[in-house]
Structure formats: structure tokens, C-alpha cells
Amino acid sequence: MRTLTKTTGALVAAAACSLLLAPAAYATTDTYTVDLHQKKELPLTATSWTGDKEKTCADIPADKDGWHFVLPGKTTDFVKLTVTFEKGGEQVITDFGPPSDKHAFASSEAGDTLTSAVAEVKGGEVKWFNLSHTCPASVTTSPSPSTSPSQSPTAIPSGSATPTQNPTGSPTGSPSATPSENPTGSATPGGTAPTASPSTGGSSTGDLAETGSSAPVGALAGVAAALVAGGAFLVVRRRKAQQH
């Protein structure tokens, strides 16, 4: 009976030890879900976050907003982190660090809003994870070019539009109205040849048409007839003088 009692006591002790060790093994191998500690502060942007801000978050580009999440405790690690942004939508992150799997990094477009963050973790017994700090994007904007030109363009035609001819239609050279030869011949001694001045009065509607100059044809014909008559008179007078 004593041997049976000892055997039974050993079995009971072994069973008790297994029951005590079972929760510890479960806690170290299985995963569980925890929420963001700052859940009540959502939604928020990287610039509106009132906590710490840094210039860089791991290898996230400088033109993106960076988000750094951390798990408390010494034995707890991230397994999966799911974050949701207002414009960028949902991101599932399974690659963690540096420096260890207790650190997770997410990126978003500059100015986007974080609306949700949930993590699956393993190890320890934590109730939440923290948003450690944000890294707002450092986007530099180049100055826009001026819309006002420094010089106003001047439209200069390649060819001159100014006519080179006289717009009145009058020829540049007018024939002389004065005959070049003297029809009277040699002048008589003591006498002077009569000079007939043609009239320069304006032509009436009955005058002949002009032939390239402003002097009417009738006036020129009258001058020529007067000159011929004067010449004939001088010739007759000279002959009579020689006969006497």
C-alpha cells in the first residue's frame, strides 16, 4: 500500500507540474492581438502628433511621412502590424526592425491621416503597443516660374508694308511745257521779240483730258500758236526793213 501511495503521489505531482508549465508554453508560442495605446487620439497626422518627432524613421524616404511603433516588455515581438491611412488605405507589415522585432515602421504620403493600427504579437503578456514617434516628410517646393515675361514680344513683319510709289498715281517726271527751240530765229536790231505768257488758270470741265501732267493741252496749244505767230511777224518785219 505504501508503494501504491508513493506512485500515486508522484503521478499527481507530475500532472500538477505540467498544468503549471502549460500556460507559460502557450504564452511563448502563440500570438494574440493588441491595439494601439494612442487609439483614442486617432485620426492623426505625422505633424499633428503631439509626441516625439524625428528627422528619419529607418529607411523611409524623406518625402514620405514615417511612423515608428514599439512594443513594451522584454520578451514580446511583432508578428504582424496592420495600419490604415485615410488616402493610402491599408498596409500589412511583416518585416520589422531595426534594431529588433519589437520595432515596426510604416510610411505614408506626406500629410496623410492614420485612422487605425492593430498588431499581432507573440511573447509576454502586453495589452497594447505604442506610437513612439513620427517623422514628418521634408518636402522642398521649388519656386514657380514667373508668368510675366521680362520683355513684351514685338511683332515685326519681315517685309515693309509701305508702298514705294507715289499713291497719287502721278508720274515722277513731267514733260516740260516750254519748247526748247526759239522759232523766231535771229532778233532784228533795235527790236525785242514779244513774249507771250501762257495763262495758268485752272482748267474747266470742258478742257481736254490731261496727258500725264497738270497743264491742259489747250493751254499748251495756245502758247505754241502765239510763239509761231510772233516769229512770223518778226520775219516779215525784218524782210521789209531789208528792202528799204
pLDDT (tens digit, 9 = 90+) per residue, 75-133?
A: 999 999 999 999 999 999 999 999 999 999 999 999 999 999 999 999 988 999 999 99
166: pLDDT strictly greater than 80: no
Lowest mean pLDDT among 52-66, 75-89, 187-201: 187-201
| Closest among 26, 22, 16, 17 to 125, alpha carbons compared | 26
Distance CA(122)–CA(29), nearest Å, equals 7
Identify the residue with better confidence: 88 or 3.
Answer: 88
| Arithmetic mean of pLDDT over the chain | 72
Distance CA(57)–CA(177), nearest Å, equals 105
The 10 Å CB-count burial string (b at 16+, else e) for 187-207 is eeeeeebeeeebeeeeeeeee
137 and 63 in contact (C-beta within 8 Å)?
Answer: yes
The type of residue at 12 is: V
Would you state the pLDDT for residue 24?
43
- When pLDDT is cut at 50, 70 and 90, the band that residue 71 belongs to is very high
